Amino acid sequence: MPQSVSPLGQPCAPAPGRDRQGGPGGVSRFRAAPVLLALATAKEYRAALSPLGAPAPPSPGRAAPWRRGGRDFLVLVTGVGPVAAAMAVGRAIGEARGELAGVANLGICGSFDLAAAPLGAVTATNAAIFPEYGLRGDNGVEARGIAFPQAVIDGCDVYDRLDLDPAGAATAMGLTLPAGAVAGACLTVAGVTASAAREAALRAAYAPLTEAMEGFGAALAAVCAGLPFLELRSVSNRVGARPPDSWDLPGAFAALGRAVAILLG
């Protein structure tokens, strides 16, 4: 199952964002503007932000202001899944009238490779992949099978993949990427992988590191608005496994809190 690429077979170069005029840029001119911190659930919000003094989780889909250490943020609980994430992040960007430093999507995830990303590890997404978009046949999903990209960004058709630059995005937003964060591709799914067969098929098709439910939707909303985007997650479970010994939610929440404390400084 081929991954999607840009026209002429060349992948789009990852870019942390654009400057005020909309052109490619490594450093945001909005660094004084708020960073939008987007989390899927109130549990993830409390683990990541409550220890840092953030207000109570806002109503899902509604961003709330938060000032910390002399810097402004917007905090957002998106709801679960790629559609909810895209809708909530897109609305927050629109309500901010584009005056944002960027978007950071924070949360937990599953790992396809516990050797590379063990339980409790912090991961930074360098490619957001939506494996459920395209033409589904007996051998999987062909992203270009329906011949309609989801977006065109800087002349590149976006089907099922957005290449990202975690370090560049963090720099553009004035954030500190935690040392030791494991970079890799993260699959965004609407249906969580709950079988060994599905896990094996996804691994073979996309060579992912992690799986979550919001990254691609949030990333597409941010990148289409010309904003830097960062997805930072901690590993809570092994993808495809439901037994309790393949999960460590308390450890993942604790790791997320430590990582976000470093990220925000």
Mean pLDDT (the chain) is: 88
Measure CA 43 to chain center: 17
Q: Are strands 135-137 and 71-77 parallel, antiparallel or unpaired?
A: unpaired
Question: What is the predicted pLDDT for the residue at 12?
Answer: 62
Reading the block at residue 162, the tokens are 């957005």
pLDDT tens digit sequence for 6-57: 232 345 655 555 443 333 333 444 457 999 999 999 999 999 999 999 999 9
Return the minimum-mean-pLDDT range out of 14-18, 79-83, 130-134, 159-163. 14-18
Side chain identity at residue 109, one-letter code: C
Confirm or reject CATH 3.40.50.1580 for domain 35-264, answering yes or no.
yes
DSSP 8-state assignment for residue 139? T
Q: How crowded is residue 135: how many other Cβ atoms within 10 Å of its Cβ?
A: 12
pLDDT tens digit sequence for 208-247: 999 999 999 999 999 999 999 999 999 999 999 778 888 9
Q: Is the pLDDT of residue 60 over 60?
A: yes
What residues have CB less than 8 Å from 24, skipping those under 6 apart?
Answer: 15, 18, 154
Segments making up each domain of the chain, as ranges: 35-264
pLDDT tens digit sequence for 170-218: 999 999 999 999 999 999 999 999 999 999 999 999 999 999 999 999 9
Q: Are 77 and 45 in contact (CB under 8 A)?
A: yes
Distance from C-alpha of 172 to C-alpha of 153, rounded to nearest angstrom: 19
Question: What is the predicted pLDDT for the residue at 246?
Answer: 86
95: pLDDT confidence band, cut at 50, 70 and 90?
very high
